[in-house]
Amino acid sequence: MHLILLFLFFSFSTSAKDDLSTLAKSPKWIKLLHYKKNITGSYVSEADAGTFFLHKDGKKNPELELRKTVEIFSQTSTPNDDHAICKFPLRYKWLNRELGMPWNADFSGCQKYISFFSKLAAKRASIVFSSYYLTNPNSAFGHTLLRLSRYDDKNETEMLDYGINYAAKAKENNPFLYAIKGLFGGFIGEFAAIPYYYKIREYTNFEFRDLWSYDLKLIMPEVLEMVDHIWELGNTYFDYFYFHENCSYHLLSVIDVARPSLNLTDRYSHYTIPADTVRLLHHEGLIDEGKRRESTYSKLIRLSEDLNQKELNLAKEIANHPKSTAKLVEGDSDQKAADVLDVSIEAFDYFNFEKILKDDPATKELKSHILTARAKNPIISKDVIDPKKTALDSPAYSHSPTRWVLAENYYDQIGKSTRFEFRAALHDLLDPPAGSLKEAQLEIGKVSFELQERNYQDAKLILDNFSIFNIKNYAEQNFWASPISWDVELGVKQLRRLSCFDCPAGFVTGSVGNSLQLARQKILLALLLNGELNIQSQFENNYRVGLGPKMFARYRLSDTWVTALNTYYHFNTYEHQKPFEDYEWWNELELRHHLNEKVSLSLKGGGVEREREWFTFGEFGLQYFYE
């Protein structure tokens, strides 16, 4: 009986409404069925399973669906698991209130629903952001999920919470087909309730991604409505679109159901990015300050900052030979031993993450030697993270992914131009650093045009560049890891040869190498081997291949000032038989100043040598990050 009272706890008394036509247009009903207006102004539900609707035309007709729902709900007061009342409890409770409580259903026959509700009956809800993971295209932009907790203690109970995850059921191994299906809704997306500690292990201990958790400012009745609606969504699926109807979009739709006045999903008509949704909830005042859960790797790197080289070597030795732990720290002071053991514990987890995730008994036994030595040490670790640094890294403070650029250019021996650029998403290596990628770049859908004046006359509009994607992953080499740095870009660009200045060419370019950071991570230096393929009719056999060294160096003077040098040298196969006679040497230096989170100024200049001719260029630009 107390469970039934709990179901009805969040009922609000409202006056009965007999006009079902009006009720069918109410924001709550529209949100409950996930209706959106199409270009003709008619409603169509984004839910794609017929089992989500009670009327055969319910997907496209809110009123027919409402009338059929009222009819079915009126037929019985003792529903069982297969009845619509048990499948759609939130619809039942809301309609019952709106119609003046004409029904009195006994939910005791809804055993599956009662079990689900009892398991998830939450007091609090949080939105969780899992950081960017460039290794997996499906998670390159990060991932969001809901965390539901029925406990009051915010700091000690998250391992007992449940995560509500929306993800695509993607089993496609062909990368080309995977991309096509992901872009055009070829996969189905479904909700799942998973013990939250599983997600912690997956993200922080296996993929080494940090988790950011933000408590939603919702009252308990709204949280309980979210639980009800998540149960209802188990009766449907959605076509999964990588850039729009993705994890973030549909989590926002669940929040919209609990509070229809927010209209959160209406803010995203073209694409939805996980970090962008966190920033939206922050701007709307719907979340508290974030709490960061470091990945095993992040914590290892942070704790290692306080050790010298000898101590780092000792920590690695312990991690690799746990049985010798007591002997290796023998003779060290308690404080030194504690610091080394703290790092060696994280290092052991990092080196053995796959076995730990499988709960391998032998691995647990090995780790126990380090844990025992640490337990005997009387020093209590003061593992304190600088809150200012944590706030700076929070995705709630990230810049908008959409960027416009207006710039004036000068080309030696050629003339000048005005350049217009649009970028759909997400971040480049010189963009504002708060809450964004630090050692990586991920740009999708960047296009620029130039109003070009040859010899300062005869203005002509030309395509300057169209980049389908431009990804750079310059993860640093350090004591614990030696990741390969790489970049790849695909698109169309002006080659600007003196013999053909306005001749756009298709291109694909990629690099591999190594990166490191210096001066307490103020300097990022990448040394790479770069290759590029150009496709254009001016070349013999319509193509050219270039190969040579490349260097990228970035120096962050402060949070608002950053400068970078980009240079490469290509040996090109212009005529194929003469691979070293056609070369290109490119140098570009850029200084960028971030006035605020929306506006940046850019000044760049450089020189390029082609066809044994040298010319210089310069640009001053204004960048605007569009909400």
Is the CB of residue 245 less than 8 Å from the CB of residue 57? no
Whether 17 shows a pLDDT value over 60: the answer reads no
* Distant-in-sequence, close-in-space partners of 460: CB < 8 Å, separation ≥ 6: 451, 452, 453, 454, 502
Spatial separation of the C-alpha atoms in residues 367 and 357, rounded to whole Å: 13
Whether 134 shows a pLDDT value over 80: the answer reads no
- Tokens at 204, concatenated: 């922080």
Q: What percent of the chain has pLDDT over 90?
A: 48
Q: Check residue 423 and give its pLDDT.
A: 93
Peptide bond into 426 cis (omega under 30): yes
Is the CB of residue 61 less than 8 Å from the CB of residue 55? yes
> Strand pairing partners for 402?
626
Q: Please, which pLDDT band fits residue 5 given cuts at 50, 70 and 90?
A: very low
CB atoms within 10 A of CB 307: 18
Whether 316 shows a pLDDT value over 60: the answer reads yes
Spatial separation of the C-alpha atoms in residues 118 and 78, rounded to whole Å: 20
If we measure between CA atoms, which residue out of 49, 20, 17 comes closest to residue 33? 49
DSSP per residue over 551-562, as a string?
EEEEEESSSSEE
* Distant-in-sequence, close-in-space partners of 273: CB < 8 Å, separation ≥ 6: 141, 142, 243, 248, 401, 425, 426
Whether 603 shows a pLDDT value over 50: the answer reads yes
> Strand, coil or helix: what is 8?
coil
State whether the Cα torsion 23-25-27-31 is positive or negative.
positive
Is the CB of residue 266 less than 8 Å from the CB of residue 238? no
- Tokens at 461, concatenated: 């509009």
Q: Check residue 178 and give its pLDDT.
A: 59
Is the CB of residue 529 less than 8 Å from the CB of residue 550? yes
Q: Check residue 538 and give its pLDDT.
A: 79
**205 φ, ψ (degrees, to nearest 5):** -100, -20
Spatial separation of the C-alpha atoms in residues 254 and 252, rounded to whole Å: 5
Q: Which of 253-262, 335-344, 383-392 has the lowest mean pLDDT?
A: 383-392
This prediction has a pTM of 0.85
Q: Is 33 exposed, middle or buried (0-12, 13-18, 19+ CB in 10 A)?
A: buried
**E strands, 429-476, in order:** 440-454, 457-473
Using one digit for the tens of pLDDT, what is the confidence trace for 156-188? 678 889 999 887 776 665 556 656 666 666 677
Q: What does pLDDT average to over the chain?
A: 86
Q: Please, which pLDDT band fits residue 414 given cuts at 50, 70 and 90?
A: confident
Residues in the chain: 627
Q: Check residue 184 and give its pLDDT.
A: 61
Is 611 or 288 the better-scoring residue by pLDDT? Answer: 288
Q: Please, which pLDDT band fits residue 154 given cuts at 50, 70 and 90?
A: low
Spatial separation of the C-alpha atoms in residues 549 and 516, rounded to whole Å: 17
CB atoms within 10 A of CB 453: 17
> Strand, coil or helix: what is 183?
helix
Using one digit for the tens of pLDDT, what is the confidence trace for 427-470? 999 999 888 888 999 998 899 999 988 777 778 898 999 999 99
If we measure between CA atoms, which residue out of 483, 444, 435, 441 comes closest to residue 466? 444
Whether 14 shows a pLDDT value over 60: the answer reads no
Q: Please, which pLDDT band fits residue 387 given cuts at 50, 70 and 90?
A: low
DSSP per residue over 36-64, as a string?
EE-TTS-EEES---GGG-SSTTTTT-HHH
> Strand pairing partners for 130?
143, 211
If we measure between CA atoms, which residue out of 397, 302, 276, 300 comes closest to residue 353? 300
Strand order in the sheet with 211-215: 238-240, 187-195, 162-168, 143-149, 124-130, 211-215, 291-293
DSSP per residue over 366-381, as a string?
HHHHHHHHHHH--PPP
Is the CB of residue 183 less than 8 Å from the CB of residue 424? no
Whether 591 shows a pLDDT value over 80: the answer reads yes
Q: Which of 6-10, 216-220, 349-353, 448-452 has the lowest mean pLDDT?
A: 6-10
DSSP 203: I
* Distant-in-sequence, close-in-space partners of 613: CB < 8 Å, separation ≥ 6: 498
Using one digit for the tens of pLDDT, what is the confidence trace for 200-247? 888 888 888 889 999 999 999 999 999 999 999 988 988 877 766 677
Q: Please, which pLDDT band fits residue 551 given cuts at 50, 70 and 90?
A: very high
Spatial separation of the C-alpha atoms in residues 526 and 553, rounded to whole Å: 6
Residue type at 479 in one-letter notation: F
Residue type at 289 in one-letter notation: E
Q: Is 137 exposed, middle or buried (0-12, 13-18, 19+ CB in 10 A)?
A: middle
> Strand, coil or helix: what is 196?
helix
Q: Check residue 9 and give its pLDDT.
A: 36
Q: Please, which pLDDT band fits residue 38 given cuts at 50, 70 and 90?
A: confident
**350 φ, ψ (degrees, to nearest 5):** -70, -40
DSSP 140: T
> Strand, coil or helix: what is 70?
helix
Spatial separation of the C-alpha atoms in residues 65 and 58, rounded to whole Å: 5
Q: Please, which pLDDT band fits residue 536 given cuts at 50, 70 and 90?
A: confident
CB atoms within 10 A of CB 190: 18
Using one digit for the tens of pLDDT, what is the confidence trace for 354-385? 888 888 899 999 999 999 998 998 888 877 67
Whether 398 shows a pLDDT value over 70: the answer reads yes
- As a three-state string, the secondary structure of 284-318 is CCCECCCEEECCHHHHHHHHHCCCCHHHHHHHHHH
